[in-house]
Amino acid sequence: MARNFNGTSDLITVPAVSNALDISSGPMTVSLWMYPTSVGTEHDPMAKWGASGPGQNFLIALGSPSLSAANQLGFVVGRLAPITGVFGAIATAITANAWYQVTLAVDANAKYSGSPVAIFSLAGAASGSNVQAFRENRTAGGVNLNIGGQQVTIPTFAGRVAQAAMWNTVLSTYEVGALQAGVSPSRIRPQSLVGFWPLYGTSSPEDDLSGHAYNGTLTGTTVATQPPGTAY
């Protein structure tokens, strides 16, 4: 199953200050499935990010004017301002009412690349990627992790999100490929999984099945069908 967000007020908030989700340096990977029902204005599916202040870690944004065209997917790692963070977008049109798998992998120590990079990958109804040279300017604390939105006061995601996960390591392109094939995050490097919210829609709060119990507090949302082929 998945959680459906209404695009205005629905949100899932996960505690991410001074815990394993508060990754302010080093490698990390974030992954989710999304099914936007509205494209054209900014709707952000997942973030640990704020416009200012500490705790700016990552942002996955659909249609953010600062990052991409209205129907494209962008990302930020670190701050946008005043220190310029790492950001980019995938120049592939996102259409409404289709499932997409999104992965943001921060190879801060150049484990798989010749130099530190952030790799943003899209699969599902459309595919593409964006690779940016990485420079560290994330900060700890500050804000929590939000699924289905960036911050409480900023437009949230319109549509469904499922299988959201976060690792404190960088996954290889092969492992990202497995996620795109529908393999559960729980089967990919579970020793480095710091958060996994399948969003089964059967409990409130939504359970974190990584073992850390960083459960997500619900504001609204309804239960929806899951992405196809994610029962592995």
Partner 1 sequence: MSTQTNYIPLTDGVSDNTGFAFYNVTALSNWLSGHWEFVHGQASYATFSVRVPKNMAVTPNASIVLEIFANDATAGHTANFQTSDALVSTTLDVGSLASASPQAFTTTSTAYGRVTLTFAVQSSLIAGDLLVVKIATATTGTQPVANMLVFAYLKIDQTV
**Residue 40 or 182: which CB sits closer to partner 1?**
182
Phi/psi at 187 (nearest 5 deg)? -100, -5
Can you tell me the distance from the alpha carbon of 167 to that of 144, in angstroms, rounded to the nearest whole number? 16
Phi/psi at 173 (nearest 5 deg)? -60, -30
Phi/psi at 180 (nearest 5 deg)? -65, -25
Rounded least distance, CB 62 to partner 1, Å: 26
Rounded least distance, CB 193 to partner 1, Å: 11
Can you tell me the distance from the alpha carbon of 58 to that of 220, in angstroms, rounded to the nearest whole number? 23
**Residue 115 or 191: which CB sits closer to partner 1?**
191
Rounded least distance, CB 189 to partner 1, Å: 6
- Name the residues that contact partner 1, by CB under 8 A: 111-112, 169-172, 174-175, 177-178, 181-183, 187-192, 229, 232
**Residue 44 or 107: which CB sits closer to partner 1?**
107
Q: Which residue in 210, 214, 212, 162 sits closest to 186, CA to CA?
A: 210
Rounded least distance, CB 178 to partner 1, Å: 4
Rounded least distance, CB 107 to partner 1, Å: 10
**Residue 140 or 183: which CB sits closer to partner 1?**
183
**Residue 86 or 171: which CB sits closer to partner 1?**
171
Q: Which residue in 67, 65, 66, 12 sits closest to 41, CA to CA?
A: 65
Cα→Cα distances 113→23, 108, 172, 216, 223, Å: 21, 10, 10, 33, 39
